Structure 1
Amino acid sequence: MDRVDGTEHYKGDVSQGPIPALLLIILDTNPHAWALLNRDLPLSEAIANLLVFINAHLAFHNANQVAVVASHCHRAVWLYPRPGSSSEGVDMAGGETPAINDANKYRPFAQIEDQLLTSLRDLIQTTTPDDVASTNTTQMAGALTLALAHINKATLAFSQQIGGTETTADHLGSSDDTSGLQSRILVLSVSGDLAHQYIPIMNTTFAAQRMRVPIDILKLAGDTVFLQQASDTTRGIYLQLRSPQGFLQYLMMAFLPDQTSRKLLVAPTQEVVDFRAACFCHRKVVDVGFVCSICLSIFCSVPEGAVCLTCSTHLSLGEYGSKPAVVPRKKKKRRKLNGGDDTPSRPGTPVPNK
């Protein structure tokens, strides 16, 4: 009977079709940086372009997923899915939001737009002047941690949905696994120096590398060496926005293809990667420093008492800097003969009398 009415045409496993993708976007909402960028690219215009990019990602596959995290000046919060709301746009506090019932918008697109704008509006309204004045950077490390936790949870849920037997993080992140959820992180960064978050950012970078999750970076303003290293380590894409008017074009052309599509494309790569590190004592980016042989902590200068500030190990410096690396060769002395010619003196050669 199934063959007659065509029912078996609709019966199929999720894994038989194209592999769905999870796009997790980290939006840097640093008020100081957006105030400087407001003339070229206002935050409202950037959000409108970002929503177009999200809709394009969801339109590729009906099983594609998206999540948005805000990296604010004093905390990292979820913008979508909005805390306290279900996946269908229903507010747990009281009924369905009015924007979801708009007949002129596709329901999933309207749902994401409503929750993202509502969460972003609440975040801005709850930010006090003291929060803005206390720091001029952003909580990028906390946002990356939330992103990796959500990716791990979504990957395990998808593996159980398709009937997978192995649900460990190592198996789901292995390069041989082609049936799992293809996850990636896109960071829209506007902040500059993140030296004080060097250790947690590197920890999240190594965790993403182990999970086979690429970290793509789109730099709208400023520059930081640690995001370059995160993108290079996880084999992501790093681009610096040269023209703010082309923000949507950068998103659609460079960051829309997922991992499967990138195998058939020539993705933009970094020509030069800055691999400098930040010292553990002053959180400054250094070219040359002192490294503890036990815990590998980096210091820009010798700690007080030559004791490691991390593991309290006594550091033995030896004869560092006491001898030059290259010793100049001694020049041979020359003596003048009667004829006035200069000849080098050799052992055993008689010198004529004057």
Structure 2
Amino acid sequence: MKQPNERSLTVIVMDVSPVTWGERELIRTASDKSRLAAGKRSIGPARLEECLSAVQCFCSAASSLEKDAVTVLVAVAASEVAVVYPRKDALEDYFRNPENKLDSRNLQSNLLSGVAELMAKASAKQQQASTTDPSNPPPPLTSNLAAMASAFSTALCLINRFLVAANAGVSALHDHHSWNRGNRDDDGVIAALGGGTSGKKTSHKYRVWSPRVLLLQASDDRPSDYNAMMNCAFAAVKQQILVDACFILSPSERASKSSSYLEQTCDMTGGLLSTPSAASQADKALTEVLLTIFLPTRSSRHRLNQVAITNLDFRARSFDTGQIVDMAFVCNQCLSIFSQLPQGRCPTCDAEIRSKKSKIEP
């Protein structure tokens, strides 16, 4: 059950990268053509519109379950990140008046228009990069993958920004005296307390907030995002922000079958991870996944029989390639690890690399 005066603050991060979903659309179209001709149902994978529909249903269900819940939607397409609900012109008012009920029509309009604008911007940027001067090196293939670390960082910033606005300009994340840690059910509940309210009945405005982030990733992990992703995970752990994740699998043989970044992030923050197969995504099944796994609040989850994260891979990975390493070079400034000695400067912190060459005696 939900704690008294507890209100959920959820930031949903959606991967809408054009290349990723375009590839899935081709696979789905080819698969459905042969199966429907044989009178069989689709076996996925999910289309982008089905993913967006699942997110809308999740937001509506969260609002029905908890009328005071606050939901913010962040979309990421390749290297582009934007807040799609509420839109930029309404974001400040939304933070100041979070008690307004969720408008499903407004949510759908903002979500569809915001995602369309972001995908168009990402596609134009990728096309421009591919038609640049031939003398310049081509952009890496991983640039088409979603920059989930940037979107994750944006989500954490939005949570802090919201709590500052709800706490009369004082960061509830920074003030450790405003944390409520009475018992296990209060873990992850941050109290937005106002001054001068001691001994008085808590007003509607100054209820406690339980922030969480839901990451919906369809692209493979970006190797260059590992350092930033782990830093965001550590920040979430420090502030007791729950992080859930759903890695939407692709039937492509080249696609990854899981995300080690999401696995480690969810394990560190105490969140849930789901990796629905392609067949578990078709015919609006992705909606069922989001509702049955991620809808329950944090304070009620210990009463549910939920699947734990197993087979975690904590082996060290190179920060520039993402490959598993047994022996590596470590930067003495930022502690980044690399499979090969960086030349000149550290790719992570830009510190000068100074290697000591030992003299070989004859």
Q: Do these two structures clear the TM 0.5 threshold for a shared fold by scoring above it?
A: yes
User: Distance in 1 between the 2:356 and 2:102 partners?
Assistant: 65
Answering whether residue 160 of structure 2 is matched by residue 152 of structure 1, we say yes
Root mean square deviation, CA, Å: 3.1
Residue number among 242, 248, 264 corresponding to 1:220 in the alignment: 248
Answering whether residue 111 of structure 2 is matched by residue 119 of structure 1, we say no
| Larger CA Rg, structure 1 vs 2 | 1
| Residue identity matched to 1:49 | A
Q: Deviations over 1:154-197 (max 9, x none)?
A: 22333459xx9977354456645654210111111001131111
1:170–1:210: 8 Å Cα contact kept in structure 2?
Answer: no
Answering whether residue 327 of structure 2 is matched by residue 289 of structure 1, we say yes
The 3 A distance-change label for structure 1 pair 173 and 235 is: farther
| Residue identity matched to 1:287 | V
Identity, % of aligned positions: 24
Cα drift, residue 107 of structure 1:
6.5
Answering whether residue 171 of structure 2 is matched by residue 143 of structure 1, we say no
Q: Which residue number in structure 1 is paired with residue 73 of structure 2?
A: 68
The answer to which of 229-238 and 177-186 deviates more is 177-186
The 3 A distance-change label for structure 1 pair 313 and 46 is: closer
Q: Give the secondary structure class of the aligned counterpart of 2:144.
A: coil
1:50–1:248: 8 Å Cα contact kept in structure 2?
Answer: yes
Unaligned segments of structure 1, at least 5 residues: 1-14, 90-105, 319-354
User: Distance in 2 between the 1:71 and 1:165 partners?
Assistant: 26
| Residue identity matched to 1:208 | A
Answering whether residue 97 of structure 2 is matched by residue 84 of structure 1, we say no
Q: Which residue number in structure 2 is paired with residue 237 of structure 1?
A: 272
Cα drift, residue 17 of structure 1:
4.2
1:69–1:76: 8 Å Cα contact kept in structure 2?
Answer: yes
- Calculate the TM-score normalised by the size of structure 1: 0.71
Cα drift, residue 316 of structure 1:
6.7
Residue number among 51, 69, 86 corresponding to 2:56 in the alignment: 51
2:16–2:115: 8 Å Cα contact kept in structure 1?
Answer: no
Q: Deviations over 1:18-49 (max 9, x none)?
A: 41101110000111211222212111122112
User: Distance in 1 between the 2:273 and 2:212 partners?
Assistant: 13
Count the aligned residue pairs.
284
Cα drift, residue 87 of structure 1:
7.4
The 3 A distance-change label for structure 1 pair 75 and 127 is: closer
User: Distance in 2 between the 1:208 and 1:125 partners?
Assistant: 31
User: Distance in 1 between the 2:81 and 2:288 partners?
Assistant: 27
Q: Give the secondary structure class of the aligned counterpart of 2:116.
A: helix
1:194–1:226: 8 Å Cα contact kept in structure 2?
Answer: no
Cα drift, residue 206 of structure 1:
0.7
Cα drift, residue 304 of structure 1:
5.9
2:63–2:102: 8 Å Cα contact kept in structure 1?
Answer: no
Residue number among 193, 201, 204 corresponding to 2:229 in the alignment: 201
Instruction: Indicate the structure whose relative CO is greater, using CA pairs within 8 Å and at least 6 residues apart.
Output: 2
Q: Which residue number in structure 2 is paired with residue 249 of structure 1?
A: 288
Q: Which residue number in structure 2 is paired with residue 190 of structure 1?
A: 218
Q: Deviations over 1:267-287 (max 9, x none)?
A: 32211111134324x423223
Unaligned segments of structure 2, at least 5 residues: 29-43, 95-100, 131-138, 192-207, 250-255
2:218–2:247: 8 Å Cα contact kept in structure 1?
Answer: yes
- Calculate the TM-score normalised by the size of structure 2: 0.69
**Superposed, which structure 2 residues align to 1:311-326 within 5 Å?**
311-312=351-352, 314=354
| Residue identity matched to 2:148 | M
Q: Which residue number in structure 2 is paired with residue 28 of structure 1?
A: 15
